[in-house]
């Protein structure tokens, strides 16, 4: 058996015991061994679409084995034979995986790499590890298991990703766009797409319309990413809007927003792309309380802008869709929720993330909050249960305690 065959066999064996009875487990063992004996004989031999998923087993049982594959091993499993690859690429495969409760929720973040050689003594003898010029990489957190890992580097960025680039999860893909070159600080319009099934990067079509920094960005989680606002190289706030079709690798120019918005936040909520807060060129740093929404059903902006959407002038970077009909964000020492037209405090932030809350995201009645107790100190992670508003701390290995600039979540 080849090394790849042995690895894939181990992956499936680990998870098949959860799916089947003792007799079926024995059949699965035999079927998988038969499949990989054939793979070992010839690297060029592939299974025909009419063959069984796993020789000697009914296809429904073979499928039960495949849907239990951890996301980080899909590239190995899909490369074994054409039948497995084609099965994994079917939309029905992922529907089955989710309905069975086997999909994995992962949070991908643009996070500074911790350099343990840079240590200074902080207040009361505390040690801080920092970098004057932080190097950013893509890290993955699986909140439900507590597992942390790192994605392969983006092609051409082995020494660190562009600062302030934006991330969006679209189906089984991660989209990375924009940011500043970490060496030259030049604005990048480059787009890269990571396929979680093949574990490979590809270059997407560049973002059109000239340099754009600090723009709003949000995904419909299906196939498109919306981009709005930000500023150009002259620090002029923008009102232009774009949408990127990941499947077609095409950009479409949308109608402009009602106002220029720099450092605004994008949230896909209730079937609309909401662009929240920000400020125009003349009001540098003085955030607006307003928001406007692009309706994907009508493919146009709502006629009326919501002028007091935030109630108070603040940076809306932590505003997220809770998936429960509410929007959530951090305000002062609290997590606040908005339903209808008012915001209400629902939970007090833990002290360890209260001083500098850098990232929030939600999924299925849970909210991940990452921040630090004081500027320059190691970041901590907590999960808020949105049903009873109780907190649980997630342990972070030291190498994953760096500052988080942006992120997104995917259901794989």
Q: Is the pLDDT of residue 61 over 80?
A: yes
Q: How far apart are CA 153 and CA 149, in angstroms?
A: 12
Compute CA distances 387 → 270, 369, 391, whole Å.
20, 16, 11
Q: Is the pLDDT of residue 160 over 60?
A: yes
Between 86 and 337, the more confident residue is 337
Q: What is the maximum alpha-carbon separation in the chain?
A: 73
Q: Which pLDDT value is given to residue 141?
A: 96
Q: How far apart are CA 131 and CA 178, in angstroms?
A: 22
Q: Is the pLDDT of residue 242 over 70?
A: yes
Q: Which pLDDT value is given to residue 114?
A: 85
Under the banding of pLDDT at 50, 70 and 90, the label for residue 210 is very high
Which one, of 337, 386, 346, lies nearest residue 364 by Cα? Answer: 386
Interval 362-398: pLDDT, tens: 988 999 999 998 887 899 999 999 999 999 999 999 9
Residues in Cβ contact with 132 at an 8 Å cutoff, skipping those fewer than 6 apart: 118
Under the banding of pLDDT at 50, 70 and 90, the label for residue 36 is very low
156 neighbors 183 (Cβ within 8 angstroms): no
Q: Which pLDDT value is given to residue 132?
A: 55
φ, ψ for residue 258, nearest 5 deg: -75, -25
What is the mean predicted confidence (pLDDT) over 63-69?
A: 88
Between 101 and 215, the more confident residue is 215
Q: Which pLDDT value is given to residue 25?
A: 45
Beta pairing class for 390-394 and 380-385? antiparallel
For the chain, list the domains and their CATH numbers.
3-99 (no CATH), 105-315+407-411 (2.120.10.80)
Rounded (5°) CA angle 339-344-347: 115
Q: Which pLDDT value is given to residue 51?
A: 66
Cβ burial, residue 123 (10 Å; 0-12/13-18/19+): exposed
Q: Which pLDDT value is given to residue 58?
A: 86
């Amino acid at each position: 058996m080849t090394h790849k065959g042995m690895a894939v066999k181990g992956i499936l064996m680990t998870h098949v015991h959860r799916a089947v009875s003792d007799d079926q487990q024995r059949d699965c063992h035999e079927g998988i061994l038969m499949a990989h004996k054939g793979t070992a004989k010839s690297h060029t031999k592939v299974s025909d679409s009419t063959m069984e998923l796993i020789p000697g087993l009914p296809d429904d049982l073979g499928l039960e084995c495949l849907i239990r594959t951890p996301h980080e091993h899909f590239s190995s499993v899909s490369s074994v034979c054409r039948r497995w690859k084609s099965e994994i690429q079917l939309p029905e495969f992922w529907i089955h995986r989710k309905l069975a409760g086997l999909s994995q929720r992962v949070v991908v973040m643009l996070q500074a790499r911790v350099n343990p050689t840079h240590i200074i003594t902080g207040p009361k003898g505390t040690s801080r590890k920092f970098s004057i010029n932080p190097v950013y990489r893509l890290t993955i957190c699986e909140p439900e298991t507590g597992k942390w890992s790192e994605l392969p580097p983006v092609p051409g960025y082995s020494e660190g990703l562009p600062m302030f680039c934006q991330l969006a999860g679209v189906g089984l893909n991660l989209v990375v766009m924009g940011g500043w070159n970490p060496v030259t600080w030049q604005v990048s319009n480059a787009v890269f797409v990571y396929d979680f099934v093949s574990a490979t990067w590809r270059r997407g079509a560049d973002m059109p319309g000239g340099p754009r920094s600090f723009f709003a960005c949000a995904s419909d989680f299906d196939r498109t990413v919306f981009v709005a606002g930000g500023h150009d190289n002259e620090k002029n706030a923008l009102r232009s809007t774009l949408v990127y079709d990941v499947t077609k690798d095409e950009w479409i120019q949308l109608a402009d927003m009602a106002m220029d918005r720099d450092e605004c936040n994008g949230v896909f909520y209730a079937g609309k792309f909401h662009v929240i807060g920000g400020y125009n060129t003349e009001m540098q740093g003085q955030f607006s309380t307003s928001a406007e929404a692009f309706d994907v059903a009508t493919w146009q902006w709502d006629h009326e802008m919501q002028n007091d959407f935030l109630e108070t002038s603040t940076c809306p970077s932590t505003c997220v869709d809770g998936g429960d009909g509410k929007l959530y964000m951090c305000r002062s020492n609290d997590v606040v929720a908005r339903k209808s037209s008012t915001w209400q405090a629902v939970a007090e932030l833990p002290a360890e993330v209260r001083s500098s809350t850098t990232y929030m995201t939600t999924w299925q009645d849970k909210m991940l909050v990452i921040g630090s107790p004081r500027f320059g100190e190691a970041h901590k992670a907590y999960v808020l249960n949105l049903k009873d508003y109780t907190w649980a701390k997630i342990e972070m290995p030291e190498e994953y305690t760096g500052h988080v600039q942006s992120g997104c979540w995917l259901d794989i």
